[in-house]
Amino acid sequence: MIAAGSLIEGQTSGARAVLLEDSVIGSSQIIQISPVRNGPFEVTGGETCTVVFDANGLGGGIAVNVLSSESFSKWPSVSLNFNEDGQAIQAVGARGNVAFNFEINRPATATFTMRGVLNSTTDAAQLTGITADAPSSPPIWQGSAAGWVENETSANSGTANEYLPCLTSLQIDAGVTLADRKCASAAKGLVEILGTGRAGTGSIDPEVTLEADIPWLTYAKAGTTARLRVPLGSVDGNQFTFFMPGVQMDSPSYGDRDGIATHDIPFRLTGGFHHNVAGGGPLLDVFGGDNELVIVYHTS
């Protein structure tokens, strides 16, 4: 049996996926996976997979009967329902973009911009009987030692190798390109909204330091691809790590924050190596293209 966090590779498709969770029924292990490269797995007849990394440290070949799989070429759409002042508005086939905003001493926010096909607009009674969830307070961005380091070799894979810049803000934009899938045969002339591309960007505002402390200018001049790791929260179930394995500066400049010299650093998200930053050494050798932004939710 392999454990959650393991990485498997299909021997026919070359697809790779991370095991999210599993359950055992009789002598069989039923697994839920998230694709990280190529895909989909061969569904017909299943596909033999090799364990590239086993969280239990076992490894070896396993046989996986893949009943369903998801390709990177298209992600599931969502339906949107709004009820405002007696109007019920429904949209279907919606997809969109997300941007994250971090400000010191405030909760981080995620802003979703969605587009879809207008399905119906009707008058309806106000909704009643809805009980909102009562989640714990969102984590505040403080006590968070963000890590920045060159990420193109495993020599800097551990957190001990990271520089710790002094930040007060961080912006991340997934940069999804949306396109209307139009069709005359569709009831409303529009089938759905597709995400046809992704070019993530962001920015940070670190204090200016000596190059011996953090080599910002050296990285900028060489076009070095760095890793940015940003923790948020400290309590399991209310804790996240935003992990950007490929960050490349884009026209940095000097700034000023109440008389304190800063760098204004826009950057591109290129994707890159995944590393086991807790223990050092490579964990997932997944190259750029589908891992520009990895968000880890800590539950235990």
Instruction: Encode the chain (300 residues) as per-residue pLDDT tens digits.
Output: 677 777 778 777 777 777 766 656 556 666 667 666 655 666 555 667 778 777 666 555 555 555 554 444 557 788 888 888 888 888 888 899 999 999 999 999 999 999 988 888 889 887 778 777 666 688 999 998 899 988 876 677 778 888 999 999 999 999 999 998 888 988 788 888 888 888 999 999 999 999 989 988 888 888 888 989 999 998 888 889 898 988 999 889 999 989 999 999 999 998 877 666 665 444 444 444 478 898 888 876
Question: Count of residues for the chain?
Answer: 300
DSSP lists the bridge partners of residue 16 as 9, 37
d(CA 67, CA 62): 15
Residue type at 120 in one-letter notation: S
Q: What pLDDT is attached to residue 282? A: 43
Tokens 């330091």 correspond to 209
Instruction: Supply the pLDDT for residue 112.
Output: 94
Question: What contacts 141, CB < 8 A, 6 or more positions away?
Answer: 102, 103, 104, 105, 106, 107, 108, 232
Order of all β-strands in the sheet with 16-25: 28-37, 16-25, 7-10, 47-53, 60-64
Tell me if residue 159 falls in helix, strand or coil: helix
**What's the pLDDT at 162?**
87
